[in-house]
Amino acid sequence: MSWTWDDENKEHQVDWKLVAQYSPREFGRFLRSLRERAKLTQGDIGYRVGINQTYVSMIETGKRDIRRVPIKRLLQLLRAYGLKDEEIDNLIKAWSLHTDKEKTEPPEDATEVRPYRLPVVEGGAGSPSFEDAREFMLFWLPPMKGKKETSLFAVKITGNSMEPLLYEGDYAIVDTETPPLTGAIVAVGIPGDGIVVKKLAERNKQLYLESVNPLYEDIPLPEDAKIWGPVISVVRNFHQGFPSKKLKALP
């Protein structure tokens, strides 16, 4: 049972550690029970979030895993089902601590992954500090053994300066606690340019930021720049079968 009764506060308490172990189908049933307790319809939930009833139905039947939707919509959905911000925080923390063991018969060779809720910055824009990030996303990644979630952040790649290694739309996962070494791909905060992802090189005792794409020139590492850390993982989405979303369609 994920529900217990709190006699003092006269309300149900949820065991979030147990809920975090639910498969998409089980979690969908959990959400449906919240909706029915609140005497809401699937249409009510959809109206609150700005989505159609079919989308809500897919979540409640486990056909769509709510944990894999963008963090903004995830928060909207959980609030629409009546969860308070404190309860949502407890749930996300429980997801982060629990190694996901899907009960939907994953492939035998499936790689074990777990959720990481990370701050996200857009490459080449905004503040040079990831700590100023206003957007957070859930990333399902192989367990980062020995690394703290608070030391990680993601950079959304823009432009083509790092192709064919990194494409626009990729998310580069950066570890701020690992010392950067020359030759590594790193995230660098540059005042006026935000955070950029480049290859760190050294020539004649001078550090340079190199692009993989030969069309771009190397630049000396600015004195006021901060190297946040190396890129340790990449999350990539393919757009119509291509890694870069700016490729033109054939006539």
pLDDT tens per residue, range 51-106: 999 999 999 999 888 888 888 888 999 999 999 988 888 888 888 775 444 433 44
Question: What is the rounded average pLDDT of the residues 123-134?
Answer: 92
115 burial type by CB count under 10 A (0-12 exposed, 13-18 middle, 19+ buried): buried
Q: Does the pLDDT of residue 209 top 80, yes or no? A: yes
Kindly report whether the peptide bond that precedes residue 106 is cis, defined as omega within 30 degrees of 0.
no
Please tell me the distance from the alpha carbon of residue 135 to that of residue 141, in angstroms, as a whole number. 18
Q: How many CA atoms lie within 13 A of 139 on its CB side?
A: 27
Question: Given this model, what pLDDT does residue 239 score?
Answer: 63
> Is 109 a member of any domain?
no
- pLDDT value, residue 240: 60
Whole-number pLDDT of residue 103:
38
Shared domain for 230 and 130, answered yes or no, is yes
- In the structure encoding, which two tokens stand for residue 186, read together? 């790193």
Calculate what percentage of the chain has a pLDDT beyond 90: 47
In a domain, 104, yes or no: no
- Mean pLDDT along residues 19-44: 90
For residue 2, with 0-12 CB atoms within 10 Å meaning exposed, 13-18 middle and 19 or more buried, which class applies?
middle
Q: Are residues 121 and 26 in the same domain?
A: no
The pLDDT, as a whole number, for residue 104 is: 38
The residue-averaged pLDDT of 132-157 equals 88
Beta partners for 189?
195, 226
Same domain, 122 and 205: yes
35 and 124 together in one domain: no
| DSSP-assigned beta bridge partners for residue 249 | none
| Beta strands per DSSP E along the chain | 3-6, 11-14, 114-122, 135-141, 152-156, 171-175, 185-190, 194-203, 206-210, 219-220, 226-235
Residue 246's pLDDT is: 52
Tell whether the model's pLDDT for residue 146 goes beyond 90. no
Q: State residue 223's pLDDT score.
A: 92
Pairing mode, strands 114-122 and 152-156: parallel
Please check whether residues 196 and 167 belong to one and the same domain: yes
Residues with Cβ within 8 Å of residue 90, at least 6 apart in sequence: 16
**Tokens coding 194:** 């935000």
Report the pLDDT averaged over residues 181-195: 94
Look at residue 12 in the predicted model and tell me its pLDDT. Answer: 52
Domain total of the chain: 2
Identify the domain containing residue 81 by its residue range: 3-97
How far the first Cα of the chain sits from its last, in Å, is: 57
The pLDDT assigned to 113 comes to: 75
* 167 is a domain residue: yes
> How high is the mean pLDDT of the chain?
83
Do 150 and 199 meet the contact criterion of CB atoms below 8 Å apart? no
Bridge partners of residue 14, in order along the sequence:
3
Is residue 48 included in any domain, yes or no?
A: yes
